[in-house]
Amino acid sequence: MSVSNSFRLGSPEVFPPAERHVYLDAASVGLSHKGGAAAISAWQNALAEEGTIAFDEQAEVECLDNLNEATARLFNATTDDIAVASSETVLMQSLAWAVMPEKGTKIVATDITHPSTVYPWMRLCDHTGAEVHWVRADASQTIDPDELEASIDDNTSVVCLSQCEYGTGQQYDLKRYADKAHAHGAILVVDATQSAGQVPIDASCGVDAVATSTYKWLCGPFGTGMMYVSPAMQKLNPGILGWRSHKDMWDFQADRLELVDNAKRYEFGTMAYGTAFGATESVRHLLDTGMDKIVEHNRRVSKHLIAGLNDLGAEVLGPKTDADRSATVAARFPGKNSRDFAKTLKEANVIASLRRDFIRFSPHYYNNIDDIDQGLAAIKAAL
Ligand SMILES: Cc1ncc(COP(=O)(O)O)c(C=O)c1O
């Protein structure tokens, strides 16, 4: 079936700014789902008007349930496997202290991973004497998947990966690394902040934990994160504890703590709860649209971008094979300073990000081929 160049899978009614800008920046901050933004304001306004009349104790117990349920569907998991808190980092940090990798063991990570993917584990290394083993990218910012796999051995305690690299969008096969990690008695923990909402995530492939924030490809707000944890991780003692960690959060008896029996033990305290209502709307919209359709749409749009960038003589970074890529596209422009170039593009209303010494374009389901053509025309003019 042929699709028109003006077709946006995420419709302009839901994402109005997509019609006003060439917005290619989901890997930084995705456009927010309009209904999600409205849900957050509605909750906040009700709280401002009526305090605990609008948001009573039972509501505070149940307020994360809808996001929990939507996330379970997104990750092909059950609701017992999902915790909600304020960000990926906070959830990953709590998990790292729960796992507590021992002295003499190594944590495998790539040197192009996002700091927030690995800093929680580096903090643990400072404490226990475990060490990070860095798998290095080549000159085109690509990790060799075979080298990554070969670096997992009997000394490995944790393999810590961003499912899609924040810079180049390189995508990893989670099952492959989960199997390899388990064969050596290690675990695979995944940062999905750059992948949830743009590629499917199947927690049943054997991953031990998957954590994400919501403001990028999930088109939700700042202030919410979700984490899948496997049944084994649900037995550990979280690094961060608070009143919500107790089975009955309204027990308020400080000298006894009975942790929740499932992933919710990683939920520890209050957060900007309204953001969870916003994130629920945007995750449901992605699910209703269909992750397969989103992948197909985004691949078509990003392939068009890569072809156009190649035609213009840009150096496109990251893997050459489709299977190892996601919609994120990083490029350098020979003879151009990327910082200045990013500014010029912004002045032409083409919104992308400078990352290190390259420019990162990250189209999502609300973009269309016409956006890419406009972006390429602006690049051509700037060259
Ligand atoms: C892979 C990845 N992880 C984590 C983060 C940020 O984490 P948080 O939302 O917890 O600050 C980013 C932000 O760019 C990211 O790209």
| CATH code assigned at 309 | 3.90.1150.10
Q: Are residues 92 and 57 in the same domain?
A: yes
Instruction: Look at residue 9 and tell me if it is in a domain.
Output: no
Burial 295-323 (b: 16+ CB within 10 A, else e): bebbbbbbebbbebbeeeebebbbbeeee
The answer on 252 and 161 residing in a single domain is yes
Q: State if residue 336 touches ligand 1 by the CB under 6 angstroms criterion.
A: no
Residue 107 domain-assigned (yes or no): yes
Same structural domain, 53 and 167: yes
368 exposed, middle or buried (CB, 10 Å; 0-12, 13-18, 19+)?
Answer: buried
- Cα of 211 vs centre of ligand 1, distance in Å, is 10
Q: What is the mean pLDDT of residues 232-250?
A: 97
Task: Using most ligand atoms within 8 A of CB, pick from 213, 224, 362 the residue to mutate for ligand 1.
Answer: 213
Please tell me the distance between residue 193's alpha carbon and the centre of ligand 1 in angstroms. Answer: 6
Residue 116 Cβ contacting ligand 1 at under 6 Å: yes
Torsion-angle region of 171 (φ positive above 0: left; ψ -120 to 50: alpha; else: beta): beta
Gap between the Cα atoms of 352 and 317, Å rounded: 15
183-205 pLDDT per residue, tens: 999 999 999 999 999 999 999 99
What are 41-94's pLDDT values in tens digits?
Answer: 999 999 999 999 999 999 999 999 999 999 999 999 999 999 999 999 999 999
Determine the structural domain holding residue 20 and report its residue range: 16-24+291-382
Same domain, residue pair 62 and 178: yes
- Measured distance CA(152)–CA(133) in Å, rounded: 9
Residue 317 lies in a domain: yes
Residue 3 is predicted with a pLDDT of: 87
Residue 311 C-alpha to ligand 1 middle, in angstroms?
A: 32
Nearest to 17 by CA among 342, 349, 304, 297: 349
Work out the burial of residue 328: count CB atoms within 10 Å of its CB; fewer than 13 is exposed, 13-18 middle, 19 or more buried. Answer: buried
pLDDT, one tens digit per residue, over 283-315 is 999 999 999 999 999 999 999 999 999 999 999
Ligand 1 contact via 25 beta carbon (within 6 Å): no
Pocket lining: 213 vs ligand 1, CB cutoff 6 Å: yes
Q: Say yes or no: CB of residue 193 within 6 Å of ligand 1.
A: yes
Q: Point out the ligand 1 atom lying closest to the alpha carbon of residue 113.
A: 1
The number of folded domains in the chain is: 2
CATH number, domain containing residue 191: 3.40.640.10
Residue 202 lies in a domain: yes
Decide which of 263, 288, 313 is a domain's last residue. Answer: 288
Please, what is the angle between helix 273-289 and helix 34-50, to 10°? 160
Distance, in Å, from the CA atom of 355 to the CA atom of 28, rounded to the nearest integer, reads 10
Residues 47 and 134 in one domain: yes
62 and 163 fall within a common domain: yes
In which residue are the tokens 């008695």 written? 185
Q: Is 88 in the pocket of ligand 1 (CB under 6 A)?
A: yes
The phi, psi pair for 47, rounded to 5°, reads -65, -40
124-165 pLDDT, tens digit per residue, is 999 999 999 999 999 999 999 999 999 999 999 999 999 999
Cα–Cα distance measured from residue 263 to residue 256, given in angstroms and rounded to the nearest whole number = 20
Same domain? 261 vs 124: yes
Confirm whether 347 is domain-assigned.
Answer: yes
194 lines ligand 1 (CB under 6 A): yes
Residue 39 φ then ψ, to 5°? -65, -40
3-state secondary structure of 83: strand
32 in a structural domain: no
Residues 266, 295: one domain?
no
Domain boundary among 288, 314, 339: 288
- Paired sense of beta strands 209-213 and 225-229, if any: antiparallel
Mean pLDDT of 2-25: 96
Q: Token pair of 157, please?
A: 């305690």
Q: Residue 358: phi, psi to the nearest 5?
A: -135, 170
Question: Does 1 have pLDDT greater than 80?
Answer: no
Q: Say if ligand 1 is within 6 A of residue 191 CB.
A: yes
| 163 & 231 share domain | yes
Distance 194 CA to ligand 1 centre (A): 8
Ligand 1 centroid to Cα of residue 89, in Å, is 7
The protein residue whose alpha carbon is closest to atom 6 in ligand 1 is 116
**Same-domain check for residues 313 and 361:** yes
Q: Is 217 a member of any domain? A: yes
Answer whether residue 366 shows pLDDT above 80. yes
Nearest atom within ligand 1 for CA of residue 222: 9
310 and 378 co-located in one domain:
yes
State whether 80 and 212 are in the same domain: yes
Separation of CA 343 from chain center:
26
On whether residue 177 sits in a domain, the answer given is yes
Residue 23 DSSP SS3: strand
- Of the residues 265, 288, 311, which one is the last residue of a structural domain? 288
CA of residue 31 to ligand 1 center, whole Å: 16
Instruction: Classify residue 262 as exposed, middle or buried by CB count within 10 Å of its CB (0-12, 13-18, 19+).
Output: middle
How far away, in angstroms, is 44 Cα from ligand 1 center?
25
